[in-house]
Amino acid sequence: MAIEGPIGRSAGDLGLLLSVQAGYDPRVPLSIHGGFPDPVGKLGCDLAGRRIGWLGDLGGRLPFEAGILELCREALSRLGDAGVCIEPLSPPVEWERIWRAFVVLRQFSLGGGRLGVAYDDPARRRLMKPELQWEIEQSRALSVAQVQRALLDRTAWLDQVLGLFAHHDYLALPSAQVFPFPIEWNWPREIAGHPMDSYHRWMEVVTPGTLSGCPVISLPAGFGPSGLPMGVQVIGRPREELSLLQLAHAFEQVAPWMKQLPPAAANAD
């Protein structure tokens, strides 16, 4: 639920940084022996025949600002030039069960440690935004049964995702449900007429990848009508980070975003 992944301007940069970050360290019990191979010379490969399952809005379960779904789907379609097939995919999903598992496990991880210690200090608590205070308070109200249920639901979701990977090499959906919003907003109160019942309901779209524990990469998808950027996230099979980077590398060859500035920046004096 909390991974410090690399960010970079290219698949090559990402791969180099990941090769440094990854690997076993006895101070990190869940780290993996073997690490991540140096990607130099491994990113270019034939992707013909690989299949992306386009999850979109999960069969209408997630609201999106107008234009996002079309923009992301169009961006992915560029991979057709590399022989990649993009297929619509609408699996049966008990969405509220999945969302609740995400919320509970997120609260469980946020409520302890340094944030919990800071909350217990009245002076430091006053420096916390209300949403974070609410998150910690919700965490402390959780029962053992709620956390156990969330862990079981997370496993059930992973099982479903692995079933989807039996027929598709990757899964994809937009990286966000809204274009970048004004800095004065704490968070969007509604999307396409759908009210948000919590401060993080507007970012539900990150749940499928995050809760699965599978590797995820976000690719630039271009710009909306007002010149604001959007991304598309691609989920790969467990421990197939290299495959995701190969897909990103292929995307760089057919998409212009590496060399294109946002319209507002490009038109600036």
Q: Say yes or no to pLDDT of 264 above 70.
A: no
In a domain, 115, yes or no: no
DSSP-derived pairing of the beta strands 170-174 and 51-54 = parallel
- What number is the average pLDDT over the span 115-131? 93
* Domain boundaries, position 216: 11-89+168-266
Number of domains in the chain: 1
pLDDT-derived band of residue 53, with 50, 70 and 90 as boundaries? very high
What was the pLDDT predicted at 61? 94
**CATH number reported for the structural domain that contains residue 176 in this entry:** 3.90.1300.10
- Does residue 4 fall inside a structural domain? no
The answer as to whether 112 is a domain residue is no
In a domain, 219, yes or no: yes
pLDDT tens track for 175-223 = 999 999 999 999 999 999 999 999 999 999 999 999 999 999 999 999 9
Q: Does pTM top 0.85 for this prediction?
A: yes
Nearest to 40 by CA among 2, 12, 9: 12
Q: Answer yes or no: is 123 within a domain.
A: no
134 in any annotated domain: no
Q: Is residue 125 part of a domain?
A: no
Q: Is the dihedral of CA 238, 240, 243, 245 positive or negative?
A: positive
